[in-house]
């Protein structure tokens, strides 16, 4: 991967983060996102935060020559545990942690040696491997899916 490619994926992460923050700021974070669940905007932000942290753990382990995957991963259980953890935080804490987690994610990408960019690594959900570029694209798509949900919730 070239420096330009690395810059491109870092730009994708940064742009997605900036777009999310613009949507969140000044919004009522207690608006329900889905009719059939208790998840509010704040919970979706926390969900993104938790996933950014898991991805960062995978990247750091990969840099150190190892692997990281969430133990006994069950997506529904994992997301519900994260939901419960986030509910004890204030809205300001959720936003601050979101910013910090994305910053740590971006730093881990910056610090990943260029020669490892095209190597396959284990993704945190444990049943898939690929390179860092694909992982970042997945996470940016994940941001976008949730951003669309939040925008729809705010529009109602």
Strand partners, 127: none
pLDDT the model gives residue 3: 55
Tens of pLDDT, residue by residue over 124-148, are: 999 999 999 999 999 999 999 999 9
Lookup result for tokens 């519900």: 80
pLDDT the model gives residue 2: 52
Categorize the per-residue pLDDT at 6 as very low, low, confident or very high, splitting at 50, 70 and 90: confident
User: What is the DSSP secondary structure assignment for residue 114, as one 8-state letter?
Assistant: G
Hey, is 147 helix, strand or coil? helix
pLDDT the model gives residue 4: 56
Whole-angstrom distance, CA of residue 39 vs CA of residue 135: 25
End-to-end CA distance of the chain: 43
Q: Tell me: pLDDT of 34 over 90.
A: no
Domain 3-23+37-155 CATH superfamily: dinb family like domain (1.20.120.450)
Strands (E), 89-134: 121-122, 129-130
Please, what is the average pLDDT of the chain?
94
């Amino acid at each position: 991967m070239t420096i330009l490619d690395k810059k491109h994926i870092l730009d994708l992460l940064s742009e997605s983060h900036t777009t999310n923050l613009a949507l969140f700021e000044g919004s009522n974070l207690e608006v329900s996102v889905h009719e059939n669940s208790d998840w509010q905007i704040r919970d979706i932000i926390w969900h993104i935060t938790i996933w950014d942290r898991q991805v960062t753990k995978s990247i750091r382990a990969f840099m150190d020559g190892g692997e990281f995957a969430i133990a006994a991963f069950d997506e529904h259980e994992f997301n519900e545990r994260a939901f419960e953890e986030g509910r004890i935080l204030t809205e300001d804490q959720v936003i601050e942690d979101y910013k910090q987690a994305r910053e740590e994610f971006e730093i881990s990408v910056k610090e990943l040696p260029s020669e490892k960019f095209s190597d396959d690594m284990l993704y945190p959900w444990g049943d898939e491997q690929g390179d860092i570029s694909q992982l970042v694209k997945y996470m940016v798509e994940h941001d976008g899916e949730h951003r669309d949900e939040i925008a729809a919730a705010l529009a109602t």
